[in-house]
Amino acid sequence: MKTPKLLYANAAGEVMDHPRYLAPGRTGDYLTDVEPHEWIPLPEGATLTWLPGTRAIGIRPEDGQLEALPTSCYAVGALLPQGYTRLFLPGYSKRAKEEETLPLFGYTAVGWHKDAFVVAAHPTDASDEWNPETVSEADVEAAVQRVLQTFPENRLFAHLSHCALVYGCMTARNTFLGRQEGAIPASNVCNAACVGCISEQPEGAPFPAPQTRLTFRPTVEEMVEVMHAHIQQNPRGVVSFGQGCEGEPSTRFLDIAKSIRALRERTSDGYVNINTNAGFTRGIQRIVDAGLNLMRVSTISAIPEHYDAYYRPRQYKVSDVEASLAYAADHGVYTSINYLVFPGVSDREEEVEAMAAFLRRAKVKLVQMRNLNIDPEYYLRIVPQRKGDILGMVDMMDVLKSECTGLEIGSYTHVPPVQHNGVQTQHAH
């Protein structure tokens, strides 16, 4: 594919393609050409957004030079659905140093080619299961009403109905529809203070938290009721502690352990998963011992300086996260990381080397690529200075796979293959 035309927006947010200029990409704070094969058609479920406070930058076709457009022209980016890894950010500059901070989104380079939108992205995992277009509003509303009537006293279902109907959260919707992965938010506190936390931002933070954090502590009975109802509808379903609308689930390790044991008294079907920062190793160990099946650990780097700058952990270190993962793997849990990635940072030589060694030591089986949702300038101000070369996001994924035997790269939780009479079979949950 030839380099696509540049897209820009006016102050009303109307998107236009430029008659001459071509679309650059950005990696870290460096603007560059995007290789033809790195552009793909805009995937279903993606959206476009204009970037307030910015000035679009284009490539002059005649000499390949970069040029900022007039101040009336704002940059445009795409927001990708799950299943796609962003390769480049849009090309822009902030109008003024103190310019407003962009909201928590994963801005991706986008262009116009043969009357269609294209993005600089990599199809990393089959996304149809997480494509919001595959679920009808009417089905969700009917399922929510049905479940709330069946469990009128359960505060967790009431909380999740807001997530399903207002935020459109796919995991909350699944919980009512009894499909795939369901949500069991458990904790309203956290042992970290991530810069880009989506459920809680400190007073005066430059960007608001897009979701409201859980305001109560679900009881063991409430959690077991939600878990069992989901698995009854889908015996190969996954029920997941650790959702975007809560803090750190392992801070409730005792109640979660009780919930898992109580569920297993009722059924041996389904999978119990936890999405966690895994910093509280003793808590994680107790949850693993109770019968956990899957664990997804969110992280941004294996380099302590970088990890600490983003996660701002309270009384834990990256080495604790590693210890939690290794313990879970040694006790038969299918482990993955939810890798918050950013072009020009995650694909730095030093980051890739450190992450490959971390994944090997922690015996991780799957890396889930997650485009980091944050204002690029804000993030680049907090991360350590670059040391090595930038490999590129696709090469980064290839190096991790080649350096870690058997490692899978995807975008969402996979259930482990089913043993049928000792034979492994691939089966979507």
Q: Residue 73 in contact with residue 9, Cβ under 8 Å?
A: yes
What residues form DSSP beta bridges with 74?
9
Cβ-based nearer residue to ligand SF4, 75 or 194? 194
DSSP assignment of 42-91: PPTT-EEEEETTEEEEEE-TTT--EEEPPTT-EEEEEEPPTTEEE--BPP
Q: Report in angstroms how near the CB of residue 194 gets to ligand SF4 at its nearest.
A: 3
Q: Report in angstroms how near the CB of residue 149 gets to ligand SF4 at its nearest.
A: 31
Cβ-based nearer residue to ligand SF4, 23 or 186? 186
> Which amino acid does the sequence have at 141?
E
334-341 and 39-41 strand pairing: unpaired
Cβ-based nearer residue to ligand SF4, 113 or 217? 217
Q: Residue 275 in contact with residue 247, Cβ under 8 Å?
A: no
Cβ-based nearer residue to ligand SF4, 194 or 295? 194
Cβ-based nearer residue to ligand SF4, 124 or 199? 199
Q: Report in angstroms how near the CB of residue 258 gets to ligand SF4 at its nearest.
A: 22
Q: Report in angstroms how near the CB of residue 326 gets to ligand SF4 at its nearest.
A: 20
Cβ-based nearer residue to ligand SF4, 266 or 314? 314
CB atoms within 10 A of CB 38: 20
**Euclidean distance between CA atoms 369 and 321, whole angstroms:** 18
Cβ-based nearer residue to ligand SF4, 163 or 194? 194
In 364-413, at which residue ranges do the beta strands (DSSP E only) sit?
A: 366-371, 408-410
Q: Report in angstroms how near the CB of residue 57 gets to ligand SF4 at its nearest.
A: 31
Q: Report in angstroms how near the CB of residue 338 gets to ligand SF4 at its nearest.
A: 10
**Euclidean distance between CA atoms 66 and 201, whole angstroms:** 36
CB atoms within 10 A of CB 136: 10
Q: Report in angstroms how near the CB of residue 316 gets to ligand SF4 at its nearest.
A: 11
Q: Report in angstroms how near the CB of residue 147 gets to ligand SF4 at its nearest.
A: 25
Distance of CA 343 to the CA centre of its chain: 15
Q: Report in angstroms how near the CB of residue 246 gets to ligand SF4 at its nearest.
A: 7
H or E element in which residue 139 lies: helix 137-150
Cβ-based nearer residue to ligand SF4, 165 or 193? 193
Q: Report in angstroms how near the CB of residue 170 gets to ligand SF4 at its nearest.
A: 18
Cβ-based nearer residue to ligand SF4, 28 or 247? 247
Q: Report in angstroms how near the CB of residue 250 gets to ligand SF4 at its nearest.
A: 10
Using CB atoms within 10 Å of the CB of residue 394, give its burial: 0 to 12 exposed, 13 to 18 middle, 19+ buried: middle
Which residues of the shown chain bind ligand SF4 in the complex (CB under 6 A)? 190, 192-194, 197, 199-200, 247-248, 277
**Euclidean distance between CA atoms 34 and 6, whole angstroms:** 12
- Report phi then psi at 171, rounded to 5: -70, -40
Which residues, other chains included, contact 47 with Cβ-Cβ below 8 Å and sequence gap of 6+?
A: 78, 79
Handedness of CA 118, 124, 127, 132 (dihedral sign): negative
Cβ-based nearer residue to ligand SF4, 166 or 205? 205
Residue with tokens 């949850």: 287
**Euclidean distance between CA atoms 96 and 108, whole angstroms:** 21
Q: Residue 31 in contact with residue 66, Cβ under 8 Å?
A: yes
**Euclidean distance between CA atoms 185 and 105, whole angstroms:** 22
Cβ-based nearer residue to ligand SF4, 318 or 397? 318
User: Which tokens sit at 334?
Assistant: 């299918």
